[in-house]
Amino acid sequence: MHKTLIGILFSVWLTLCGADFTFAKNRDPKYQKAVSNALEYLAREQRRQGYWEANGGQYRVAMTALAGNALLAEGSTTTRGKYARNIQNAVDYLLEMSQPNGLIGYKNDYHYTYGHGYSMVFLSQVYGEEEDALRREELKKVLIKAVEFCASAQTTRGGWGYVSAKDGNDFDEGSTCITQVQGLRACRNAGIPVDKKIIDRAKKYISDCTTQEGGVQYSIRGGGARPAITAAACAALFNAGEYDSDHLKNMLDYCKKNVWPGGNANRYFGHWHYAHFYYAQVMYRGENKDWDKYIKDIGQQILRKQSASGAWMEGHVGPVYTTAINATILQLDNGYLPIYQK
């Protein structure tokens, strides 16, 4: 009887922790060591006020949300785990950065929609696990207003720019559109109301920006197909509930030719980390065999470039950015963050 009960409990534990168990069973220990070193680096780099920053003290809101998400992906929350205090401090900072109009950030940051979108993702994941009633209500209010700001910032063609449509004379740009769509979806998954019309307009925008060969352009005005934006747009369409349209299949084919590691795409193109941050999400949601091959190939590339400090130093944005992204990619199949799950 006692052995039977233990067996049942063990089976339940495997079910609840299946993603993490699979990760621990199947992944090269070098990956886990790389992640551990990366997260320790991020923990050391967090400022006393709770934020992280890019080179030159830039993009504090965006870096805080991305770094916080990487720590969440390890399994820590605001109250439990190795990085609970770091995550709590990051949440405190972003809540302080929430403006009366709903923007999470500050107006004189000329790329504030990035930080706003990433913050919606991070705070919505925290909101889903928050146990304190007062804190949960505070997060809910901030996220509701953040969604409202996002809706008001959308351009007439359904996209977003580096700043709101009003502040940016209705300028749109593909990569910022992706951050807003994923942020909105994360909020909706957490129970925050999101008008479906906003998402539908964004999907139409992505379609209008897509070239005949399946690449997504820099802007509705043109600028040429970009591998990084296309990979991100595929992830955004998954988030928006689109999985098998001909339009998406065309985009995925483009990514296989231009983003997939190895072959003709084995090159370090512009915005490589941004591209694989999103393409990894696409691969993880696809066939298991594709994910296994992808994470092995991209993981080897990532590990080769890690410095002794635990950080990745390449790119002009700075090591916090590249380290948060690489650490998140290597932890996707931990299964702790709902926004990235199948």
Could you give the 3-state DSSP secondary structure of residue 217?
strand
If DSSP states are collapsed to H, E and C, what string results for 69-135?
A: HHHHCCCCCCCCCCCHHHHHHHHHHHHHCECCCCCECCCCCCCHHHHHHHHHHHHHHHHHHCCCHHH
Q: What is the DSSP letter of 225?
A: E
Output b/e per residue, 289-327; b: 16+ Cβ within 10 A. Answer: eebeebbeebbeebbeebeeebbbeebebbbbbbbbbbb
Site of tokens 């039977």: 4
Distance in angstroms between the alpha carbons of the first and the last residue of the chain: 37
Encode the chain (342 residues) as per-residue pLDDT tens digits.
443 343 333 334 334 444 443 444 456 799 999 999 999 999 999 999 999 999 999 999 999 999 999 999 999 999 999 999 999 999 999 999 999 999 999 988 889 999 999 999 999 999 988 989 999 999 999 999 999 999 999 999 999 999 999 999 999 999 999 999 999 999 999 999 999 999 999 999 999 999 999 999 999 988 889 999 999 999 999 988 888 899 999 999 999 999 988 655 444 455 899 999 999 999 999 888 999 999 999 999 999 999 999 999 998 999 999 999 999 999 999 999 999 987
Q: What is the DSSP string of 131-172?
A: --HHHHHHHHHHHHHHHHHHHHH--TTS---SS-TTTTTT--
User: Rounded to 5 degrees, what are φ and ψ at 79?
Assistant: -120, -15
* Number of residues in the chain: 342
Query: Which residues lie below 8 Å from residue 165, measured CB to CB, with a gap of 6+?
Result: 152, 153, 154, 155, 156, 171
**Cβ atoms of residues 286 and 280 within 8 Å:** no
Q: pTM of the prediction? A: 0.90
